[in-house]
Structure 1
């Protein structure tokens, strides 16, 4: 019985510490995203009245004084390329949903999920592994400096 109890306690501690590490400091960004989840999709939209995918990204990153190009196609050209396996909260993820190159984008929020403005659901959070987006994934970019990232996640980095 002691072994079972110790195993359970160990699993809880491991789960709690790994969950914290996955989202360490992310509350500021996640809070900014949560504030607009449910905002309707609006082609060309850049305000809380409605967002398209790149307008949503502009809105979130403007809060951290990060300037980005207007369209997802142009946003996919800035910053540093990031491997899917190295994504961190705040990285931009890009998709080919039109068959003509990058045409959709979102913000990685951790745990294999990204926030984006979907034409059918508005601002929502979706798994990168969902069958629709997994097939259409193109690339990811890191567009923050160390100082900007620190501000975004709410943790001072040394």
Structure 2
């Protein structure tokens, strides 16, 4: 869970449990806490299945062109398989195509389940992973390695960071609407 979300939970729990100082403010505080809890459950529901599915593949070997746990994954095959299995969405096959088909977001706006892209082959968007929160992401790194979690603050990943994207699966006209398998 991200530090931001943890802090909000702590503040909202304190606000909910603390005795009101002004009786007329209590209904507004309760309404705010109720709204926050609704948002928290909604976000958690959308991302928890995706993240838990991805984490279930830790240790699967890398295989260039691979797109299944049985044969191994490359980076974009891993991301594509996770979104298909957890969300029923068929993302494009290559990392650059996934970047082009998803919504650009600022790095500071990353949320668990967003895509993170890196320039690892002297070309933009040549590597992709799934953001987990707290500066961590999961990916299929390279030949001879396995699906694993890494820290984006490591100098290797900082130097190669290309951008962040969000899969806008709920949007009408989404590039994935026609390829949804749900």
Which category describes the TM-score, using the shorter chain as reference length? 0.7 to 0.9
TM-score, normalised via structure 1 length:
0.75
| Greater RCO, CA 8 A, separation 6+ | 1
Query: Whose strand proportion is higher, 1 or 2?
Result: 1
Quickly say closer, same or farther: Cα 1:143–1:16, change in 2 above 3 A. closer
In the TM superposition, what whole-angstrom CA distance separates every residue of 1:65-100 from its partner, at most 9, and x where no partner exists?
112110001111012101000001111110000112
Between structures 1 and 2, the one with greater helix share: 2
Q: Which runs of 5+ in 1 are unaligned?
A: 1-12, 148-158
1:15 to partner: Cα distance: 9.4
Give the number of aligned pairs: 133
Matched, 1:112 2:135: yes
Corresponding position of 1:144: 168
The partner residue of 1:99 within 110, 122, 129 is 122
What SS does structure 2 have at the residue aligned with 1:76? Answer: helix
Between structure 1 and structure 2, the one with the greater Rg is 2
Aligned to 1:75: 98
TM superposition shift of 1:14? 5.3
State the shift of 1:24 in Å: 4.0
Aligned residues of 1:78 and 1:141 also touching (Cα < 8 A): no
For residues 143 and 14 of structure 1, do their structure 2 counterparts lie closer, same or farther at Cα, with a shift above 3 Å needed? closer
CA distance in 2, matches of 1:65, 1:15: 31
* SS of residue in 2 equivalent to 1:41: coil
Please give the root-mean-square deviation of Cα atoms over the aligned residues, in Å: 2.3
